Structure 1
Amino acid sequence: MSRTKLTWIALVVLVWGAMLSFGGVAAETVMLYPNIFGDAPASLDRAREFMVEGGPSDYFPPLGATVTISSLLAFVLSWRNPGLRWWVAGAAAVFVACEFLFSVLFFWPRNEIMFVDPVGTHSAAYLRQVAEEFVAGHWVRLAGGAVTSALAFTAFVRCDRANARAAAAGSATDPAEVAR
């Protein structure tokens, strides 16, 4: 299989994963978060009871790994093409910063407080504060998902157009080179 085809496939997987991740975060924002954080600490207790069989922590880590691996693969495959490479690098950097690092540093400690620590460990006022911080920080993650998806999709469109131009020109050159 050609490098061009592999690049295209990696970009399809990257766009698919980034958009699923962004869509999942957007869905959480409008469907789950009003129920989870709307009346802390009572709503946090209900969320603990509801998310016994599965929750966001079951969905987002494998999806995040898919986005990260496909972005690294697309970056390596597009290395010779700065016109693609920097779009992919931007998508990867925003995703890692907003979805992974921000989650590890900001969300994970708050998740621990709200959903892992035994009920009654923290005061109601503190749980409300932590829930408000979580919801406020969530907008960073939502914006990061939107930017990641836009950058990944731009890289895909640039690659696809270059492939189409090369095919139309009957070029024997690498279509990835035409994307510059």
Structure 2
Amino acid sequence: MSRTRWITVVLIALVWASMMSFGGVAAETVMLYPNIFGDAPASLDRAREFLIAGGPSDYFPPLGATVVLTCLVATALTWREPRLRWWIVAAAAVFIGCEFLFSALFFWPRNEIMFVDPVGTHSPEYLRQVAQEFVTGHWVRLAGGAVTSALAFTALLRWVGRAARAGTDRRERTETGGALL
């Protein structure tokens, strides 16, 4: 497979993975969060019972790893394309900052408090406070996912536009016997 085709495939994979991640976070926001955080601590107890077979912690880590991996591969493949690589580097930086680092530093400790610590460990007032902090901080993650997806999609559009222009230039040179018009 040619380098151009590899770049195209990897950029499509990056856009797909970043949009799946953003879409998952957006869906959580409107479908799960009102039920999970709407009436803490009772809603947290219901969420513990509901999210036994699977939940966001089963979905997002592998998807996040896919976004990071495709960002790394896309960066390596497009490093010689300065007009493209910075879009990908920016997408990677935003995703790693907003989705991974912010999650590890902000969300994971709150998840422990709300969903791992034994019921009754924390006061209802404290659980309400932690739940509100979680919901408020969630907007950073949602915005980061949107920005990551937009940056990755912009990189793909720039790449496809460049490839289309290159194809048009080649056809024109072929049709004119190699002379540039």
Scaled by the length of structure 2, what TM-score is found? 0.93
Aligned twin of 2:160: 160
Aligned twin of 2:147: 147
Q: Which amino acid aligns with 1:50?
A: F
Give me the whole-angstrom Cα distance separating, in 2, the residues matched to 1:118 and 1:3.
53
Aligned twin of 2:110: 110
Give 1:100 shift: 0.2
Give me the whole-angstrom Cα distance separating, in 1, the residues matched to 2:87 and 2:2.
21
Q: How does 1:1-180 map to 2 (within 5 A)?
A: 1-170=1-170
Aligned twin of 1:175: none
1:18-67: CA deviation from partner (whole Å, max 9, x where unpaired): 00000000000000000000000000000000000000000000100110
Give 1:169 shift: 1.4
**5+ residue gaps, structure 2:** 172-181
1:79-128: CA deviation from partner (whole Å, max 9, x where unpaired): 00111000000000000000000000000000000000000000000000
Structure with the greater alpha carbon radius of gyration: 2
SS of corresponding position for 1:100 = helix
Give me the whole-angstrom Cα distance separating, in 2, the residues matched to 1:8 and 1:89.
16
Give me the whole-angstrom Cα distance separating, in 2, the residues matched to 1:5 and 1:86.
20
SS of corresponding position for 1:153 = helix
Give 1:170 shift: 1.5
Give 1:168 shift: 1.4
Q: Structure 1: which 4+ aligned runs deviate by more than 4 Å?
A: none
User: What is the percentage of aligned positions where both structures have the same residue?
Assistant: 73
Q: Which amino acid aligns with 2:158?
A: R
**5+ residue gaps, structure 1:** 172-180
Give me the whole-angstrom Cα distance separating, in 1, the residues matched to 2:26 and 2:68.
19
Give me the whole-angstrom Cα distance separating, in 2, the residues matched to 1:84 and 1:71.
12
Give 1:17 shift: 0.4
Give me the whole-angstrom Cα distance separating, in 2, the residues matched to 1:137 and 1:91.
20
Give me the whole-angstrom Cα distance separating, in 1, the residues matched to 2:64 and 2:10.
15
Give 1:2 shift: 1.3
Give me the whole-angstrom Cα distance separating, in 2, the residues matched to 1:51 and 1:40.
16
Give 1:3 shift: 1.3
Give me the whole-angstrom Cα distance separating, in 1, the residues matched to 2:122 and 2:12.
45
Give 1:135 shift: 0.2
